[in-house]
């Protein structure tokens, strides 16, 4: 099978690496790819969000299957365009995109199917939002765009000025959603779907802020798997997962692909925060190295609607994913900084026992590695438990250095500290 993965970020590198481990492929391509994917696949210089360019690339490279785990190509109609022309794909079709692309729709969806969510309100303009916040002075809220927002950008605060200023930056692109703040453990649940059921990948817990109490980011780290108690997992399935899949089916939005569910495990039980119709970053980088089942076997089961019968083989080890970012991220990342040379074996993820290195905002130019974005490299440590994985991630991050580089120093700490 000849595979094309669309994307250029760290999670796309992780997915391409996952494919590269398969015994069932005879061609691997990534568009446009990055400096990390070029050693395991053929990078194609096309626009992954252009249905026409992707289709032409499929014809020229005799592609059997196109895998989309990132958001941009989904929202430009690549899936539908390819399917209409007979090319198999992994990703949500247009009829399902509003589950992520319109947060107000997703909230009415959860209301219809009695799925627990935070109290929420949608505002179209500044004045009614300001009036509402003044009536609830001192209360803590989350503000985020009501439409698709790259990197899950939001603010969580009780400060009126901070909430209003952030909302003002979003209003030019559309309405905003105001949600109550929830305290608890954040968990990312990644489900692979077919017409008869689902397969749950190892759950993770993501660190979304630049630091404890810092600015929101696209994700600065993740641990996997999250140690969930049996009763919590049962409640998660019964109150969120099963009602969601039922709702997708009866509302004719069911599809074959991935559905990522962000939840908070509160004292009252699991509460749904958001749906994503693609993989989340850095959760994907954390769980991919732990999955032992051949990805092609998973996709074949999906095609045959037998996912729920597939026994997923997962390592008994744990992972800690640590994101190295540029100076100024998340507000104004400084780019064009040169990375110090990285040992070739580490670049290839070929050194047994070493951390994994998944590249995002990094590009090669004239034999040098230069930063091109805010989140540059995800270092993933593997260990017998979270503490061990944490140690290996922080040992491995020493090989990633460039002027202004930074990372959180506490990823995974809360899971093993007393």
Among residues of the chain, what percentage have pLDDT more than 90?
Answer: 81
How many structural domains are present in the chain?
4
Residue 400 in any domain: the answer is: yes
pLDDT value at 418 more than 60: no
pLDDT digits (tens, 9 = 90+) for 269-324: 999 999 999 999 999 999 999 999 999 999 999 999 999 999 999 999 999 999 99
Residue 110 in any domain: the answer is: no
Give the CATH number for residue 259: 3.30.470.20
Q: Please indicate, yes or no, whether residues 298 and 341 belong to a single structural domain of this protein.
A: no
Q: Please indicate, yes or no, whether residues 410 and 329 belong to a single structural domain of this protein.
A: yes
Give the CATH number for residue 163: 3.30.1490.20
Q: Please indicate, yes or no, whether residues 283 and 333 belong to a single structural domain of this protein.
A: no
Q: Please indicate, yes or no, whether residues 199 and 289 belong to a single structural domain of this protein.
A: yes
Give the CATH number for residue 42: 3.40.50.20
Q: Please indicate, yes or no, whether residues 257 and 146 belong to a single structural domain of this protein.
A: no
Residue 103 in any domain: the answer is: no
Which of 407 and 148 is assigned the larger pLDDT?
A: 407
The pLDDT value given to residue 135:
95
Tokens representing 29 are: 């391509």
Range of the domain at 144: 119-180
Residue 388 in any domain: the answer is: yes
The pLDDT value given to residue 148:
61
Q: Please indicate, yes or no, whether residues 347 and 267 belong to a single structural domain of this protein.
A: no
Last residue of a domain, one of 162, 180, 198: 180
Q: What is the reported pTM?
A: 0.91
pLDDT range class, residue 120, cuts 50, 70, 90: confident
The pLDDT value given to residue 146:
80
Last residue of a domain, one of 290, 309, 328: 309
pLDDT value at 152 more than 70: no
Q: Please indicate, yes or no, whether residues 142 and 192 belong to a single structural domain of this protein.
A: no
Residue 135 in any domain: the answer is: yes
Residue 104 in any domain: the answer is: no
The pLDDT value given to residue 378:
98
pLDDT digits (tens, 9 = 90+) for 208-220: 988 877 777 889 9
Q: Please indicate, yes or no, whether residues 62 and 130 belong to a single structural domain of this protein.
A: no
Last residue of a domain, one of 309, 341, 365: 309
pLDDT value at 246 more than 60: yes
pLDDT range class, residue 149, cuts 50, 70, 90: low
Give the CATH number for residue 403: 3.90.600.10
Q: Please indicate, yes or no, whether residues 160 and 243 belong to a single structural domain of this protein.
A: no
Q: Please indicate, yes or no, whether residues 84 and 137 belong to a single structural domain of this protein.
A: no
Q: Please indicate, yes or no, whether residues 171 and 200 belong to a single structural domain of this protein.
A: no
Residue 35 in any domain: the answer is: yes
Residue 290 in any domain: the answer is: yes
pLDDT digits (tens, 9 = 90+) for 46-62: 999 999 999 999 999 99
Q: Please indicate, yes or no, whether residues 56 and 145 belong to a single structural domain of this protein.
A: no
| Exposure of 93 in the CB half-sphere (CA atoms within 13 A) | 15
pLDDT range class, residue 417, cuts 50, 70, 90: low
């Amino acid at each position: 099978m000849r595979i094309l993965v669309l994307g250029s970020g760290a999670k796309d590198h992780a997915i391409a690496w996952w494919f590269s481990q398969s015994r069932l492929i005879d061609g691997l391509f990534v568009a446009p790819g990055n400096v990390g994917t070029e050693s395991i696949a053929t990078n194609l210089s096309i626009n992954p969000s252009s249905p026409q360019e992707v289709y032409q690339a499929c014809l020229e490279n005799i592609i059997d299957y196109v895998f989309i785990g990132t958001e941009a190509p989904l929202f430009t109609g690549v899936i539908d365009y390819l399917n209409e022309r007979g090319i198999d794909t992994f990703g949500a079709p247009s009829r399902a995109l509003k589950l992520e692309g319109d947060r107000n729709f997703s909230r009415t969806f959860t209301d219809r199917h009695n799925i627990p969510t935070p109290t929420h309100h949608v505002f179209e303009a500044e004045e009614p939002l300001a009036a509402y916040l003044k009536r609830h002075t001192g209360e803590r809220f989350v503000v985020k765009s009501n439409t698709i927002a790259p990197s899950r950008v939001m603010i969580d605060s009780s400060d009126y000025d901070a909430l209003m200023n952030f909302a003002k930056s979003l209003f030019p692109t559309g309405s905003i959603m105001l949600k109550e703040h929830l305290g608890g453990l954040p968990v990312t649940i990644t489900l692979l779907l077919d017409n008869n059921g689902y397969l749950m990948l190892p759950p993770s817990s993501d660190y979304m802020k630049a630091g404890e109490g810092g600015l929101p980011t696209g994700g600065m780290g993740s641990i996997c798997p999250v140690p969930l108690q049996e009763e919590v997992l049962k409640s998660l399935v019964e109150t969120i997962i099963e009602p969601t899949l039922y709702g997708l089916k009866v509302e004719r939005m069911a599809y074959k692909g991935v559905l990522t569910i962000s939840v908070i495990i509160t004292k009252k039980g699991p509460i749904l925060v958001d749906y994503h119709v693609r993989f989340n970053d850095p959760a994907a980088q954390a769980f991919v190295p732990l999955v032992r089942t051949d990805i092609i076997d998973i996709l074949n089961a999906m095609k045959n609607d037998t996912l729920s019968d597939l026994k997923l083989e997962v390592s008994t080890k744990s992972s800690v994913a640590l994101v190295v970012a540029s100076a100024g991220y998340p507000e104004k990342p400084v780019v064009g900084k040169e990375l110090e040379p990285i040992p070739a074996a580490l670049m290839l993820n070929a050194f047994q026992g070493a951390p994994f290195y998944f590249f995002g905002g990094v590009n090669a130019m004239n034999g040098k590695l230069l930063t091109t974005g805010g989140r540059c490299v995800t270092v993933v440590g593997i260990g017998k438990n979270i503490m061990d994985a944490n140690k290996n991630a922080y040992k491995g991050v020493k090989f990633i250095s460039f002027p202004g580089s930074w990372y959180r120093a506490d990823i995974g700490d809360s899971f093993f500290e007393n």
